[in-house]
Amino acid sequence: MSISRLGPVRLPTAELHLHIEGTLEPELIFALALRNGITLPYRDVSALREKYKFTDLQSFLTLYYSNMAVLLTEQDFEDMTRAYLVRAGAAGVRHAEIFVDPQAHLIRGVSLETCINGVTRGLADSEARYGLTTSLIAAFLRDRAAGEALDVLEQLIAMDAPIIGIGLDSAEVGHPPSKFIAVFARAHDAGLKCVAHAGEEGGPEYIWEALDLLGVARIDHGIRAIEDEMLVERLLTEQIPLTVCPLSNVRLRTVDTLADHPLPGMLARGLNVSVHSDDPSYFGGYLDDNMAQLTSTFALDSSQLAELAANSVRSAFLPRERSGTLLAEIDNWRMAQPRS
């Protein structure tokens, strides 16, 4: 059945794998370029959208970083953040833990304060205005030097940046988690939560390293875990969260089609898997779009959808009271759905 038949109220869920820079829609890119006096190398919005055909992760990252050139002021970062919150609220997101890539802006000459303050301003009243609680995670670019990441982390700590944790993203292959042991050790010492992208293009060994060497609490992506049965057993036993992004995986060619995606099998095995949108502007959909296409492709029922949503809430860095409230909302949603 289609997700539209599952009732008029959106499934409440948490979004844990969302890059705020990946929410820059082409229309906003052009608006910010106009405001900042930037000439884009695209004729119009349609010409820019034509570029959103990726062959692999690197082809996406090239466009992704290029489009960030329009982000120059705190207001730019705030506007981008608020645009995401409007869309996320409409998608049923009730809590979001958002990645920001400070290095991607620092190397362009944009200060750390501009980036962090702008996003933070956008998040400040998220619950009152958009109906969702939020927190911020600083993600480091694994294809840059670990020493640079450590320096940026020290700056974030020194400025008392309002982040709850750190992550690791960007081009995976050739940049294993082991490169960042010192960065994550410092984050642990500072009391920050730790997560890392692993097992998207990189193999299961990257997931092992992220768990054993970086001490992460969540694996972002993790779809290649199924290639290693011993790893699957560990993920099952420890119920380590895997924040999976199906439409992203298809667009970046890590799976050929959505029908080939391992998510249903991972869910059936009892893995702690949940669904997220990654970089929704670039990959064809926000969280509700991911859920709708999964439902259509795999005929997921309301109980399976509720399980995915509950996994997202249980995997979030939330106080017990807030987590309990959201889990109750998900259960109420499930009970309200018509029986198929």
Q: Which residues are annotated as a binding site for substrate?
A: 279
The chain-wide mean pLDDT, for the chain, equals 95
Q: What percentage of the chain has pLDDT greater than the value 70?
A: 97
pTM as predicted: 0.95
Give the contacts of 82 (CB within 8 A, at least 6 positions apart): 122
* pLDDT value, residue 57: 81
Q: Which residues are annotated as a binding site?
A: 17, 19, 197, 278-279
Q: Which residues are annotated as a binding site for Zn(2+)?
A: 17, 19, 197, 278
Residue 50 is among the residues annotated as catalytic for this protein: no
pLDDT digits 0-9 by tens, 116-138: 999 999 999 999 999 999 999 99
Burial call 32-61: b when 16+ CB within 10 Å, e when fewer? bbeeeeeebebeeeeebeebeebeebeebb
Domains of the chain: 3-336 (3.20.20.140)
Q: How far apart (Å, rounded) are the C-alpha atoms in residues 313 and 311?
A: 5
Distance of CA 119 to the CA centre of its chain: 15
pLDDT digits 0-9 by tens, 216-264: 999 999 999 999 999 999 999 999 999 999 999 999 999 999 999 999 9
**Nearest-CA neighbor of 235 among 202, 193, 199?**
199
Distance of CA 290 to the CA centre of its chain: 13
Out of 15, 97, 200, 201, pick the active-site residue.
200
